[in-house]
Amino acid sequence: MNNKFTKFLIFPALVAGMAMFSCTEVEKIPVEHIGGYNTMDNEESEAYYANLREYKDQIYAYGRPVAFGWFSDWAPYGAARGGYLTSVPDSMDIISMWSGAPGRFEITPEQKKDKEFVQKKKGIKLLEVSLLSHLGKGRTPESVYADLYVQAEEEGWSDSQLEQAKKLARWDYWGFTSHDLSNFEELKAAHTRFAKALCDSLVVNEWDGFDIDWEPGSGFNDADGTLANNPRQTDLIIHLVKEMGKYIGPMSDPENKGHKLLCVDGVIGTFVSSCPEYIDYFILQSYGRVDGLDGYAPNTHKFILTENFEQYAVDGGRLLDQARYMPSSGYKGGVGAYRFQKDYDNTPDYKWMRKAIQENQRVFNEWKAAQEGTATENEQ
């Protein structure tokens, strides 16, 4: 049995009646994971979580940098806690579900409980992530293919014949009935329907946003020309983002009152130059390096630097360097890691993420204080 305790990341204003701490005090106070706030349901724990949720909502107006991570191997079962979302540091802000974001009929009772706790108690935003590579990916009902499986069995189709028939049936379902990949207007109309389905499903299945992993070329092995690998793929993906932006992302919430997030990672240049106002965060796969962000001014506050914990979970790689880095033209959006749950196996668990969150907040507070000091001097 794993009896390891987790030291939670503590929100500065812990509970009513307790001393107030500055943001640099984050992660200073150890609280047991098993037997800590996760297992409490009383006035003290509710006050703690209410403050924590208020802290998390600062992200909508970019009030501070965020802590981000891609989470894989989601398995909230048994005494070993590495597969639980509830085991991540409290001050994680956004988690992209690299294990997949199952629908309400596929999610297990244990996953449902785990998911709802981090969302409703801790205020962590959980994103669906997808390598969006073709029309209808992840949203085409299996019923579309039912008759084809029967026909393939009766007529002895090869696998390639069945896959071709399924592709055309999927195209038809979304309204791309001409099957002409140069028919841009019909493809746009089909992607308009696809965008709404992507966003509607987030509401139905209670996910907090979408992370578009855009990696055209070698990153996609299932492109069919309807999105990636189309001669007008840039126009199509920008159209899809703008259609999604009607329902999620900052353009759907001009007053920053709260919305489902729209993020992109992978090859982000297309979005930075064409539709930055539609994107909450650009997530840089800056694995093993510290990317300079000054070239992205004035939007540096939207950029998150990330390390690869599939490779560097033991020593943290350059995560702390990324956390300490501040562009000269402003402040960065945050810091995070790919498959960050692998950091759970360090001692203490989530060792590098905790240190990175501290450093991320420290350098931001120093930058903010300097800005306020400059403003005061200018007023005198």
Distance (Å, rounded) from C-alpha 47 to C-alpha 37? 11
Beta strand pairing call for 209-214 and 261-266: parallel
pLDDT at 1 over 50: no
pTM: 0.90
pLDDT for res 128: 98
Only one residue has tokens 């108690």, namely 121
Distance (Å, rounded) from C-alpha 124 to C-alpha 89? 10
In terms of average pLDDT, the best of 12-16, 78-82, 234-238 is 234-238
More confident residue, 357 or 39: 357
Considering only CA atoms, which of 2, 7, 10 is closest in space to residue 31? 7
pLDDT for res 375: 65
Q: Mean pLDDT over residues 74-80, rounded?
A: 92
Percent of the chain with pLDDT over 70: 88
pLDDT for res 40: 66
Q: Rounded to an integer, what is the distance from CA 224 to the centroid of its chain?
A: 26
pLDDT at 2 over 90: no
pLDDT for res 34: 40
**pLDDT of 5-19, one tens digit each?**
233 343 333 333 333
pLDDT for res 96: 98
Strand partners, 111: none
**pLDDT of 255-266, one tens digit each?**
888 999 999 999
Geometric angle at alpha carbon 208, from 205 and 213, rounded to 5°: 100
**pLDDT of 104-156, one tens digit each?**
889 999 999 999 999 999 999 999 999 999 999 999 999 999 999 999 999 99
**Residue 261 near residue 241 (C-beta atoms within 8 A):** no
pLDDT at 25 over 50: no
Per-residue pLDDT band for 230 (boundaries 50, 70, 90) equals very high
pLDDT at 30 over 50: no
Residues with Cβ within 8 Å of 219's Cβ and at least 6 positions away in sequence, in order, are: 131, 213, 266, 267
Considering only CA atoms, which of 367, 363, 359 is closest in space to residue 27? 359
State the DSSP code for 300. G
Across the chain, what does the average pLDDT equal?
89
pLDDT for res 36: 54
pLDDT for res 39: 61
Exposed e or buried b for every residue in 198-230, given b needs 16+ CB within 10 A? Answer: bbebbeebebbbbbbbbbbeeebeebbebbbeb
**pLDDT of 305-334, one tens digit each?**
999 999 999 999 999 999 999 999 899 999
Encode 162-188 in three state secondary structure.
Answer: HHHHHHHHHHHHCCCCCCCCCCHHHHH
Distance (Å, rounded) from C-alpha 139 to C-alpha 221? 18
Considering only CA atoms, which of 65, 55, 89 is closest in space to residue 331? 65
